[in-house]
Structure 1
């Protein structure tokens, strides 16, 4: 029996499958390719996606298989004119453990996610092209039918199309993919091998000239592999020519001066054209869209794969809560409510990044670093306008932006000065384990398929006890007392010690007794005074039903 069928086994589909499988959901994931899909475009996760991968338990493998972003060497007329390191002044912060993205081939990231999925007993089913959908609102048993070009059909309680920009699922649903294409902006891409020693592998080399460009970035984990991107060759009418190994050699010689014979192999060849499009809705009955199936945009800033990963992380826990009977089906409405405005913002920010890059490369020393901004880290993306925010503000959706200027657009949900509001990404903080004294962090407390309730100050202890009693089924809701450096936990006390005050600073509690609910996707649910039990109970009740929840309010009073 299949609870969720995922169509498409790229990073978005695999992230969703891993998240559902670890929650005990019966998930299947299929892909129309006869072999595991391989792509060369995405160069790796940004800081927010690294946090997602850490929660899924694979970030150590990702970091080991990849490398930190490289300094960029820019050339003009074949000569180096500038070296730029966009991350030279960056450093991990207490509330954000990853200060930069990570270079890793998309195919290698997919291997890591497939291995994690296999550990849950789930494997990608290849050669399964979806050609029809029936009962998208669910039949009498609440199931959607999916027919494939070959093989038996499948019925599942929910279906998620993660099958890319040309999504069959989206087309079968008849969902519009509005936007525009720029036929004049194109790029050829591929993985190439170069003769050893031709270029230093400690730089991302970028040649920009009046008549074209070539970019070569070393592929981590390979002895001689490089990501190759270039302006395409064109025919007499100015139409881009299809990528080929010989074409890559000609482009290499023309723009870099390196003899084309040093390019010894070229694979995963593709043509990239700038498209700025998004679906007008993310859901049709029991069928959802995620990743490139829902939105495509310029690659400037590297937000394509990352936005898909974060779509999956938003949807996974909601599907699981509904399938387990812990939340009402209406919870699934918040997926589109939260992620569609993020996609619209992403289209805007990547279009601006592309414009900035095209302007920068007209001058010697300009390069791809112009597309790297604080927004591309993904750490500022939140959902203050959402109905899951404790005091939703519908006007905030239209005003959404991830920068600090828009930080006040969301509702005031009780956080202290400088602290996160409902819907914001939950910050990290280094702490000590209260029982052992060993170093730990809030993110380690959040990691896993559960909600987390943090309690700051002695006054939060009772609320945490009542929460644990009401929601203590198999750890689906976990409580964590955050002790101050001046507090002395009892022997064997559970929780963390905020020995340097980073947690209090990150959550803006100002020393007040406070309760904070953290959603399973590591966004803040509600921030409330420790004695305001009723709003906390009501908020938890929306995300996780519990028979004992009424008793918690009765025991504490109106709060």
Structure 2
């Protein structure tokens, strides 16, 4: 029986991000995928600002930016007549705190391709054609029965310290551990999705036609040019009670002729097709013993608002450093309790947002296309009420970034970019004020004495620019500890106690949740 630290079941975005997080920390893992081929569709095509920050930390953002593009403006027609133009969200300029303020379009198949490339650079791979049949939990680990054409001999028992199900909405892992999947499937709310090639229509707009079925019900047909490709994503709602039509080139041509007018758009290729049903569900819990759920295995959304893939990435990013710390013996197993405590409330909130947007679309609300709610960007989602967040300033100030919040980027006084210092697997201690700097130096010296100088990276002398970005008053003497996943874990007013006492407070936090020592590039 092959044994590993973490067995990841499902190689979608969540599974790939988790594998990259473990690989760059030197944790043994296996990533298995039931299907014999990688996912080939565009489905989750929008990367929110927070996800772009995660991808920068993982070392893939340059590829994401090079191969994707901004969302185009929308153009609505009645026949050949343009009746409306606009955007789902007005573009925003980057700032010191938010370097990527706009959603970025990248078809899901390409996101997967880029993450697999990164995983390969880190020495990993996906085991295709390898599905999960059964699992057993024991006091010291998990045993999983794997089967399929990718398994030598057809079947194999594999052992792991922990198992993570990232195997989608129909998760086998979730079923095997008996976790309920509360919510609803709205069978009457269906749509056809397809990636097609077409001529006669420009790629500078997201094109929408209002169509009618035989009963006179109105349905929008949309063609969105997929950035970085030669294809469009076609979206066509299916009337309640109607049969889902088989999509082939002649049928697609008929649909587009009826919507846009004969000969207006010529369909030249069909790359992928799927039927979407409105599934709105969330797992009753994200953990059962040594088994965890992440991504669609834990929550499924309407595509409205572009939240599903992005929330999945955040799940894996939250869980990865914690699993690594526990598997490597750098943190107590109790650290893993914080995964569900932090992520389940966030997933519930995001599910509510996407459902409200979906319902607007079904109702035909005039503003149903708008995506300018700041919550969609996922920058203000955090863990203030979580078990790892300790806000210990009596009066942090009205503009302060608090413990549990995302750590914003900043341009430091010497021109250094803060995200460049945060990037990697370490924790980062930001010291603002003389007492805070003395405390930070004491923490760094202690880490070096333990033989792990990169466990905590200390930033001192950052000056006024960092204070502005974090809302720290000019006369405040403050320590801010940034977790490996880019959230503030501890915010401490050093002026209220001695530098040594402050340093010991930081050490106490580190003993509870410290990550492994050395980052891997």
Deviations along 1:471-496, one digit per CA (max 9) or x if unpaired, are 23051211111432xxxxxxxxxxxx
Q: For residue 377 of structure 1, report the CA deviation from its aligned partner.
A: 0.4
Asked if residue 513 in structure 1 is aligned to residue 483 in structure 2, the reply is: no
How far residue 357 of structure 1 moved from its aligned partner, in angstroms, is 3.0
How far has the Cα of 1:332 moved from its partner? 0.3
For 1:289-368, list aligned pairs within 5 A.
289-359=293-363, 361=364, 368=369
> 1:244–1:413: structure 2 CA closer, same or farther, 3 Å change rule?
farther
Match of 2:443 in 1: 467
CA distance in 2, matches of 1:168, 1:526: 38
**Is 1:453 aligned to residue 429 of structure 2?**
yes
Q: 2:190 aligns with which of 151, 161, 186?
A: 186
Instruction: For 1:544-559, list aligned pairs within 5 A.
Output: 544=514
Instruction: Return the match for 1:423 from 397, 404, 409.
Output: 404
Tell me which residue corresponds to 1:526.
490
- Checking the alignment, whether the CA contact within 8 Å between 2:74 and 2:208 is kept in structure 1 is yes
Q: Could you tell me whether the CA contact under 8 Å between 2:393 and 2:493 is conserved in 1? A: no
Which among 255, 261, 284 is matched to residue 259 of structure 2?
Answer: 255
Structure 1 residue 544 displacement after superposition:
2.0
**Residue of structure 2 equivalent to 1:394:** none
Kept in 1, the 8 Å contact 2:5–2:27? The answer is yes
What is the CA distance between 1:76 and its match in structure 2? 3.2
> Does structure 1 residue 479 correspond to structure 2 residue 490?
no
1:261: Cα distance to partner? 7.2
Q: Report if the CA contact (8 A) 1:19-1:316 is conserved.
A: yes
Instruction: Give the counterpart of 1:47 among 44, 49, 56.
Output: 49
- Partner Cα separation in structure 2 for residue 242 and residue 376 of structure 1: 34
Unaligned runs of 5+ residues in structure 2 are 149-153, 212-216
Distance 1:260 1:267 in 2: 21
Cα deviation 1:119-174 (Å, max 9, x = unaligned): 11111000001010112xx35x5343343343322111111111111111111111
Task: Please list, as runs of the form range in 1=range in 2, the aligned pairs for 1:154-173 lying within 5 A after superposition.
Answer: 154-173=158-177
Aligned CA distance change for structure 1 residues 32 and 474 (closer, same or farther; 3 Å): farther
Q: CA RMSD in A?
A: 2.2
Residues 146, 476 of structure 1: alpha-carbon distance in 2 compared, 3 angstrom cutoff: farther
Is the Cα contact below 8 Å between 1:78 and 1:207 reproduced in 2? Answer: no
Contact 2:484–2:515 (Cα < 8 Å) also in 1: no
- Contact residue 242 and residue 271 of structure 1 kept, 8 A: no
Q: 1:460 to 1:353 in 2, by over 3 A?
A: same
Distance 1:367 1:246, change over 3 A: farther
1:540 to 498, 510, 519: 510
Is the alpha carbon distance of 1:413 and 1:76 closer, same or farther for their aligned partners in structure 2, counting shifts above 3 Å?
A: farther
Distance 2:162 2:365 in 1: 49
* Number of the residue aligned with 2:466: 503
Matches within 5 A, 1:403-442: 415-431=396-412, 437=414, 439-442=415-418
Q: Distance in 2 between matches of 1:383 and 1:529?
A: 20
Q: 1:431 to 1:208 in 2, by over 3 A?
A: farther
Cα deviation, residue 546, structure 1: 11
Alpha carbons of 1:118 and 1:545: their partners in 2 closer, same or farther (altered >3 Å)? Answer: closer
| Residues 379, 231 of structure 1: alpha-carbon distance in 2 compared, 3 angstrom cutoff | same
Larger RCO (alpha carbons 8 Å, 6+ apart): 2
Structure 1 stretches of 5 or more lacking a match?
A: 392-410, 485-500, 548-559
What does residue 388 of structure 2 align with?
388
> Could you say if the C-alpha distance between residues 269 and 233 of structure 1 is closer, same or farther in structure 2, counting changes exceeding 3 Å?
farther
TM-score, scaled relative to structure 2:
0.90
User: Measured at CA, do residues 376 and 545 of structure 1 come closer, stay the same or move farther in structure 2, by a change above 3 Å?
Assistant: closer
Greater CA drift, 473-482 or 533-542: 533-542
Query: 1:180 deviation in Å?
Result: 0.8
> Following the alignment from structure 2 to structure 1, what is the Cα–Cα distance between the partners of residues 265 and 399?
57
1:413, 1:422 within 8 Å by CA — same for their partners in 2? no
Distance 2:45 2:329 in 1: 38
Greater Cα shift, 303-312 or 254-263: 254-263
* Counterpart for residue 2 of structure 1: 4
Provide the C-alpha distance between the structure 2 equivalents of 1:380 and 1:246, rounded to a whole number of angstroms: 46
User: Relative to structure 1, is the Cα distance of residues 264 and 111 closer, same or farther in structure 2, using a 3 angstrom cutoff?
Assistant: same
TM-score with structure 1 setting the length: 0.84
Checking the alignment, whether the CA contact within 8 Å between 2:325 and 2:516 is kept in structure 1 is: no
Output one character per residue of 1:31-66: Cα deviation in whole Å (capped at 9) or x when no partner: 011122223211131100000000001101100000
Matching residue of 1:110: 112
72-81 vs 511-520, which deviates more? Answer: 72-81
Q: Is the 8 A contact 2:357 2:368 kept in 1?
A: no
Q: Please tell me whether the aligned partners of residues 189 and 238 of structure 2 are also in contact (alpha carbons under 8 angstroms).
A: no
Query: Structure 1 residues 255, 233: CA separation in 2 closer, same or farther (over 3 Å shift)?
Result: farther
* Mapped contact 1:427–1:507 kept (Cα < 8 A): yes
